[in-house]
Amino acid sequence: MSSIENIREKIAELKEELGAVIVAHNYQRPEVQDIADFVGDSLELARKCTQVDAETIVFCGVHFMAETAAILNPDRTVLLAESCAGCPMADMITADELREWQKRYPGAPVVCYVNSSAEVKAESYICCTSANGVAVVDSVPNDEIIFVPDQNLGHYISTQTKKRLIIYPGFCYVHHRIKPEQVKLAQRLHPDAEVIVHPECRPDVIALAEAALSTSQMLRYVKASSRESFIIGTEEGLLHQLRKENPDKFFYLLSNSQICTDMKKITLEVVARTMELRQNRITVPEEIRLKAKQAVDRMLAVS
């Protein structure tokens, strides 16, 4: 038996022992996606974590995703496969910084992208993901809204709504470094391909694309499309599901640097070790959890 098969077998045994379910984000390594019970985007993973019946949720993704699962499931054990897998964009705003912004714009409720800490969520009126940002913003009764922390998602939403967004200047380095010149070059090289990008990309990149979609929305879009080839503006991990679901279609990345190093910290060995040692449990202090849960629940009620 190969060592990969040995690790897979070990993970299956540990799953049984722990009564665990393994969930993975679309950016995980292919072999990690393949051992997961459920693979999805941030919204789907948050939803899934309210529906599972398992005692333990092993989360293959970054910290804020596991923390959202812990906010929604205080009675379950949530283990983050790798404790130091974080999201640099989520770290760009602290609860203190958000409170400063709230002082500057009194009366404006906060919509916070789910890529944020529990403390920031606790200060917010409602959360959103890239899949439901427009619907969430439209659901807020006020006309003026503070949006944190992603400037690009905030800008994209502001082009799709009548609300006025006051946008915090955070960004995702993986998407923000994609330049319009790269899109134009890819379009010249693959003139028949459709360009789909994540709304964390810059406005001038989104302007050149056919659609701006969350990762799972991209999967659905490609499956439903009659086109044969696609230029993909998001983290390269998504190619695994895209190719699995569409073996006859062709996919091109905009550059070779579409890699989230935090997502890639999780390997099969790391998953097995975390389960074996029952380590990296994610918990949120109850006072913060209850406030953050309100913001997440409001979001789940919208979409």
Residues at the site binding ligand SF4, with contacts judged by CB under 6 A = 62, 87-89, 115, 172, 174, 200, 235, 260, 262-263
Give the separation between CA 172 and CA 181, rounded to whole angstroms.
19
CB of 103 to ligand 13P, least distance (A): 29
Per the structure block, which two tokens stand in for 119? 């403390």
Q: Based on CB atoms, which residue is closest to ligand SF4, 8 or 175?
A: 175
Q: Using CA of residue 163, residue 169, residue 171, residue 175, what is the dihedral sign?
A: positive
Contacts for 218 with CB less than 8 Å, ≥ 6 apart: 196, 198, 232, 234, 238, 242
Q: Using CA of residue 89, residue 94, residue 95, residue 100, what is the dihedral sign?
A: negative
Q: Does 42 bind ligand 13P (CB under 6 A)?
A: yes
Q: Based on CB atoms, which residue is closest to ligand 13P, 231 or 263?
A: 263
Q: Which does 215 bind (CB under 5 to 8 A by kind): ligand SF4, ligand 13P, none?
A: ligand 13P
Q: Does 130 bind ligand 13P (CB under 6 A)?
A: yes
Give the separation between CA 22 and CA 96, rounded to whole angstroms.
34
Q: Does 33 bind ligand 13P (CB under 6 A)?
A: no
Q: Which does 236 bind (CB under 5 to 8 A by kind): ligand SF4, ligand 13P, none?
A: none
Q: Which does 186 bind (CB under 5 to 8 A by kind): ligand SF4, ligand 13P, none?
A: none
Q: Does 119 bind ligand 13P (CB under 6 A)?
A: no
Q: Which does 41 bind (CB under 5 to 8 A by kind): ligand SF4, ligand 13P, none?
A: ligand 13P
251-290: which residues touch ligand 13P (CB under 6 A)?
none
Interacting residue ranges for ligand 13P, rule: CB under 6 A: 26, 41-42, 115, 129-130, 172, 198, 200, 214-215
